[in-house]
């Protein structure tokens, strides 16, 4: 154990065959007390954080079997969060690409992305644990805005850590968080992006664990976060599965696609289709942060997963046009799904993403978040090739692009 969120290079993984045997856990089920997904996951934290993680796990286990907790969670997401979000048929984009495109509209959820689902769940859990204060890390600012929103809703104190680079490119979200009553603490260490914001949030949690819940924003970090955040996000996949069945005469889509930074919107939609044998699951990483396409196993931020590292095991800096995907790792369950072959991990580069951002705006009147535009970009590139013409493709539109419009304007006008 280290007192810093450290790195271990080259740890090996042991594939766990799944399905068939009753003793084998189902894909995307409960990882059990070890928090292991095959050879990935676990709880690699300083000793001082072990009781805090155990407390969160115990609280989540008891809440998640409590119908009253589910009622409250779903009620708030319905009346406050705007759920269920619709599935939209994209006639003009489908015509252009030669595949039938459906969008799961997380951009229409309150605060503009899927992040609100997880945050409402964790805020309710924090209240159950008697915590009065939320801390969070944020990249694009969407998780920070969602956490600040939940803190305002429930009357809690809120501090959000954000890399300095991200505070500049997501200036509007910094102001939104402040309006919502949160304190935004810029992080000036390392690459000054999401990785460094997570480091700072973990450090602060060690120091203030008595009154503070660390509301982690993706399916990453130490157990139980990867599992718990996936469960809070599974509402996306559960809704989408039944919405698709209505639209597709009882069938499932051929391909389900989502962008992946830490991997929470992808895990949420994949969870609804994990047992849908017809549906291929595809996660699209940023080309400059493609932990599963380019990384190797190691330990960072309390989890054993696929990470971008150099020969000496030092974490490499990710680089992406989108702050939310600018992360050198990915949640451990994704590493496991890749190992099992249940999900496929691909990448889109910044130029493809900029084209996709404009394509969706022009053809459907929907401006996507730059993160979500990665999923559109891969579908645009793969249609008619890896995705046969005529296929039905469900894309998780994880967020709306209002936060990105100024950045894209400057890039397109040659100012950035
Ligand atoms: C709109 C949007 N989509 C996706 C992501 C990436 O996160 P995750 O991979 O956990 O869904 C972010 C992160 O900030 C985001 O804001």
Per-residue pLDDT, averaged over 146-166, amounts to 97
Bond prior to 84 in cis (omega within 30° of 0): yes
The whole model's pTM is what? 0.94
The CB of 324 under 6 Å from ligand 1? The reply is: yes
The catalytic residues are 90, 114
* 416 pLDDT tier (thresholds 50, 70, 90): low
pLDDT for residue 24 is more than 70: no
Q: Which of 132, 133, 122, 141 lies closest to 186, judged by CA?
A: 141
pLDDT at 140: 86
Q: Is the C-beta atom of 116 inside 6 A of ligand 1?
A: no
What the block records as the tokens of 133 is 């204060």
The atom of ligand 1 lying closest to the CA of 330 is: 9
Q: Give the mean model confidence (pLDDT) for residues 151-162.
A: 98
Kindly state the tokens that stand for 208: 């203030």
- Report which protein residue has its CA nearest ligand 1's atom 15: 324
Euclidean distance between CA atoms 413 and 160, whole angstroms: 31
Domains assigned to the chain: 51-74+115-214 (3.40.50.1100), 83-113+234-412 (3.40.50.1100)
pLDDT value at residue 14: 33
CA 322, 327, 329, 331 torsion-angle sign: negative
Q: In whole angstroms, what is the distance from residue 290 CA to residue 72 CA? A: 37
Q: Which of 208, 185, 207, 190 is nearest to 137 (CA)?
A: 185
Say which residues have a Cβ less than 8 Å from residue 20's Cβ, sequence separation at least 6: none
**Span 249-271, mean pLDDT?**
98
pLDDT at 201: 97
Determine the atom of ligand 1 nearest the C-alpha atom of 220.
10
* 3-state secondary structure (DSSP) of residue 176: helix
Mean pLDDT score, 172-180? 96
Q: If pLDDT is split at 50, 70 and 90, which confidence band does 11 have?
A: very low
Residue nearest to atom 7 of ligand 1 (CA): 261
Q: Is the pLDDT of residue 361 over 80?
A: yes
Please give the average per-residue pLDDT across 228-244, as a whole number: 98
What pLDDT digit, counting tens, does each position of 33-86 carry? 999 999 999 999 999 999 999 999 999 999 999 999 999 999 999 999 999 999
Averaged pLDDT score across all residues of the chain: 93
H/E run at residue 363: helix 350-364
pLDDT digits (tens, 9 = 90+) for 302-343: 999 999 999 899 999 899 999 999 999 999 999 999 999 999
């Amino acid at each position: 154990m280290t007192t810093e969120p450290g790195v271990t290079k080259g740890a090996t993984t042991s594939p766990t065959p799944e399905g068939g045997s009753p003793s084998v856990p189902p894909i995307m089920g409960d990882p059990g007390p070890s928090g292991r997904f095959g050879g990935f996951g676990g709880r690699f934290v300083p000793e001082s954080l072990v009781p805090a993680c155990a407390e969160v796990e115990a609280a989540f286990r008891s809440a998640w079997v409590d119908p009253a907790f589910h009622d409250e969670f779903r009620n708030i997401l319905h009346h406050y969060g705007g759920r269920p979000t619709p599935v939209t048929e994209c006639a003009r984009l489908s015509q252009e690409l030669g595949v039938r495109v459906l969008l799961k509209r997380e951009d229409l959820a309150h605060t503009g992305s899927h992040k609100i689902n997880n945050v409402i769940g964790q805020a309710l859990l924090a209240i159950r644990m008697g915590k009065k204060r939320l801390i969070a890390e944020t990249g694009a600012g969407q998780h920070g805005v969602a956490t600040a929103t939940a803190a305002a809703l429930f009357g809690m104190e809120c501090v959000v850590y954000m890399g300095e680079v991200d505070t500049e490119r997501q200036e509007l979200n910094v102001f939104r968080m402040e309006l919502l009553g949160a304190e935004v603490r810029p992080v000036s260490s390392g690459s000054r992006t999401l990785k460094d914001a997570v480091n700072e949030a973990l450090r602060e949690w060690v120091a203030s664990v008595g009154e503070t819940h660390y509301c982690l924003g993706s399916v990453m970090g130490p157990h139980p976060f990867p599992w718990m955040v996936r469960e809070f996000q599974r509402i996306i996949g559960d809704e989408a599965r039944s919405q698709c069945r209505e639209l597709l005469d009882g069938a499932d889509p051929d391909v389900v696609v989502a962008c992946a930074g830490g991997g929470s919107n992808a895990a949420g939609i994949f969870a609804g289709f994990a047992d849908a044998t017809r549906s291929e699951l595809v996660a699209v990483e940023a080309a400059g942060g493609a932990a599963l396409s380019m990384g190797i196993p190691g330990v960072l931020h309390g989890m054993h997963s696929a990470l971008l590292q150099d020969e000496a095991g030092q974490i490499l800096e990710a680089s992406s046009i989108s702050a939310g995907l600018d992360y050198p790792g990915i949640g451990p369950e994704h590493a496991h799904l890749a190992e099992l072959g249940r999900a496929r991990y691909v990448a889109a580069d910044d130029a493809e993403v900029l084209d996709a951002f404009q394509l969706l705006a022009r053809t459907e009147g929907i401006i996507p978040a730059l993160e979500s535009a990665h999923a559109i970009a891969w579908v645009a590139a793969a249609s008619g090739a890896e995705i046969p013409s005529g296929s039905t493709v469900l894309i998780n539109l994880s967020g709306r692009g209002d936060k990105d419009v100024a950045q894209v304007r400057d890039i397109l006008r040659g100012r950035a």
